[in-house]
Amino acid sequence: MKKKIKQFYVTTPIYYPNNNLHIGHAYTTVLADIINRYKKNDNYETYFLTGSDEHGEKIYLSAKKENKSPKEFVDKIIINFKNLWSLLGIEYDHFIRTTDETHINFVQESFNKLLEEKKIYKGKYSGLYCVYDEEFFTKTQAKNNKCPNCNRELIYLEEDTYFLKISEYKDWIKNKLETNDFLKPKSRRNELLKNFIPELKDLSITRENIHWGINLKNDEKQTIYVWFDALNNYLSTFKYKNSKWKIDDIWNKKSNVEILQIIGKEITRFHAIYWPIILKMYGYKLPQILSHGWIVDLDGKKMSKSMNNFIQPEKLIKKYGRDAIRFFLINNISIGEDGKFSEELLKKNINGILVNKYSNLINRMLSILFKKTNGIIFKSEKFKKEENEFDNLKDEFKEKLNSYSFFESSKLIINFTDKLNIFIDKNEIWNLKNKDLEEHLYFIFKEIWNLSILFSPILIDSSKKILEMFQEENHNFDNWNKNLDNKKIIKIDFLFKKID
Ligand code: MSP
């Protein structure tokens, strides 16, 4: 019988190329890459989308400062985005740019379709507007006429605009937030229900006199609001000529594709209120939204360009390797909460876990294996009870990651590593001889192999070395408890070295 295809689609927000990226943006993208690789190991066919959100006044103003056209300006920054993703080992399927023709056509066509269906209508808007964030605010939100996001002065705007009929879906989205768990963690649902749902109004989705954006085909003075433009990227990606998947196969209500959209907490409102309503208007299904906290500095302040407290990952990757950064991001920040990042904390993590618990375990065992045998391991079934315990940890790990509990899944890998170290110490492997030693070594190397399957979506360079060590091809879960009888183990160098 043909195996049923399991499919997984993961997205990051598309980042604004008004500046280079920092560790906060890397956080989302690394999580997406980790789960994408994990799903591949678990026999899913996957699609990973990331990209850049290139329209809007913010970009226009940044380009103007450098005397460049917006397109010239963003083209240069996009090179840095892609470089960073390659340094971090991010294996996306598509890097989408909202200035791509395919995306622009899709947004214009979708707008017209919703207009025809009367889900969009023309009206007038007046209110307090932040040019930088491209958002309107109510008087209560805007204390002293200042933007609640960036503290810049707001301007009073009155103009023609097109509205999206959000208010008609107020009860629907309220009910979804109350009864459905499409948004994680749960605390975010309560925030939205309390702060945004009661005042939910139709959303103005076009602006007059915007210099850089997608124009309406039949009303050229009007430019489509960046968020309506941007959110549609999650659909338009499947309209590109080379796309391996088709939009309706993925998003239709009956599709079995698991869709995970990872975002940072300050854009939850757009992804968990407006976006589901837009999808509903199109007749599509709901995705899973995972809204993580921020990376903050040691004083607890959000890392950002405007606060000038951000850390750029490039130098750290060169100094400590990408595996260490990827591991830090999953292992130190609980999804719902903010998490601190600093070079010191990173070093502690490397020495305390990657060196002491993981890398040393492998090198200790390699040195015993090569001192006492010729590097070949022979099958033994002796430690069935212990094997079951490790298998259970693997099941728990999968359960956690399948429900997108990244942080908790990483703790289970460490638990696995600790257990293996305890087994080695308790049995004093270095004192064993002959058959007894052989049986222990087989079990330990098999569990090192299993452990590397768990680590492989996170520690991508180390995983390659482990594959060399076992002379194996891939870390698929089908290879769990692999028969390693007669396996010649190849010596490898330390995966991680202590940093002073
Ligand atoms: N362009 C929009 C997203 C449109 S998606 C249809 C945008 N771009 S952004 O570049 O400003 O931010 C992108 C993401 O980076 C957001 O999810 C935001 O939460 C995340 N982060 C920015 N700084 C961050 C931290 N310090 N920590 C964690 N994530 C942070 O918003």
Can you tell me which atom of ligand 1 is nearest the CA of 303? 26
Residue 130 has pLDDT above 70, yes or no: yes
Mutation pick for ligand 1 pocket among 11, 15, 212, 227 (CB with most ligand atoms within 8 Å): 15
* Dist. CA 261 → ligand 1 center (Å): 13
* Dist. CA 228 → ligand 1 center (Å): 16
- What torsion, rounded to 10 degrees, do the Cα atoms 106, 276, 273, 164 define? 50
Q: Which two tokens stand for residue 3?
A: 């195996």
**Pairwise CA distance, residues 446 & 468, whole Å:** 15
* Dist. CA 467 → ligand 1 center (Å): 35
* Dist. CA 487 → ligand 1 center (Å): 47
pLDDT on residue 310? 81
Can you tell me which atom of ligand 1 is nearest the CA of 25? 15
Can you tell me which atom of ligand 1 is nearest the CA of 16? 10
Average pLDDT, integer, range 53-73: 93
pTM of the model: 0.95
* Dist. CA 16 → ligand 1 center (Å): 8
Kindly give the residue spans of alpha helices, DSSP state H, lying in 131-203. Answer: 170-179, 186-195
pLDDT on residue 24? 95
Average pLDDT, integer, range 129-136: 82
User: Which residue type is seen at 99?
Assistant: T
pLDDT on residue 57? 86
* Dist. CA 355 → ligand 1 center (Å): 32
Mutation pick for ligand 1 pocket among 20, 28, 132, 278 (CB with most ligand atoms within 8 Å): 28
∠ CA 236-237-239, rounded to 5°: 65
User: At a CB cut-off of 8 Å and minimum separation 6, what does 363 contact?
Assistant: 494
- What torsion, rounded to 10 degrees, do the Cα atoms 450, 453, 456, 462 define? 30
185 near 335, Cβ under 8 Å? yes
Q: How many CB atoms lie within 10 A of CB 125?
A: 18
Average pLDDT, integer, range 123-131: 88
Kindly list the distances between the CA atom of residue 62 and the CA atoms of 77, 133, 212, 228, 240, in Å, as whole numbers in the listed order: 11, 13, 12, 21, 29
Kindly list the distances between the CA atom of residue 485 and the CA atoms of 424, 445, 452, in Å, as whole numbers in the listed order: 20, 11, 18
Three-class secondary structure of residue 178 per DSSP: helix
* Dist. CA 9 → ligand 1 center (Å): 19
489 near 377, Cβ under 8 Å? yes
Distance of CA 199 to the CA centre of its chain: 30
User: Which residue type is seen at 226?
Assistant: V
Helix H or strand E encompassing 142: none
Report residues whose beta carbon is within 6 angstroms of any ligand 1 atom: 13-16, 24-25, 27-28, 53, 230-231, 263-264, 266-267, 294-295, 302-304
The 10s digit of each residue's pLDDT in 209-237 is 788 999 998 898 999 998 999 999 999 99
pLDDT on residue 132? 81
DSSP 354-381: IIIIIIHHHHHHHHHHHHHSSSEE----
Packing angle, helices 322-331 and 23-41, rounded to 10: 90
pLDDT on residue 342? 94
- Out of 191-205, 306-320, 427-441, 463-477, pick the least confident: 306-320
Average pLDDT, integer, range 173-180: 96
| Residue the block writes with tokens 């009929």 | 165
pLDDT on residue 4? 66
The 10s digit of each residue's pLDDT in 288-325 is 999 999 999 999 999 887 778 888 899 999 999 999 99
- Out of 79-93, 196-210, 267-281, pick the least confident: 196-210
Mutation pick for ligand 1 pocket among 267, 289, 298, 312 (CB with most ligand atoms within 8 Å): 267
pLDDT on residue 425? 97
Residue 1 has pLDDT above 80, yes or no: no
407 near 415, Cβ under 8 Å? no
* Dist. CA 24 → ligand 1 center (Å): 8
Percent of the chain with pLDDT over 70: 99
The more confidently predicted of residues 280 and 159 is 280
The rounded mean pLDDT for the chain is 95
Q: How many CB atoms lie within 10 A of CB 20?
A: 16
pLDDT on residue 3? 61
**DSSP state at residue 473:** S
Residue 82 has pLDDT above 90, yes or no: yes
Residue 2 has pLDDT above 70, yes or no: no
pLDDT on residue 150? 84
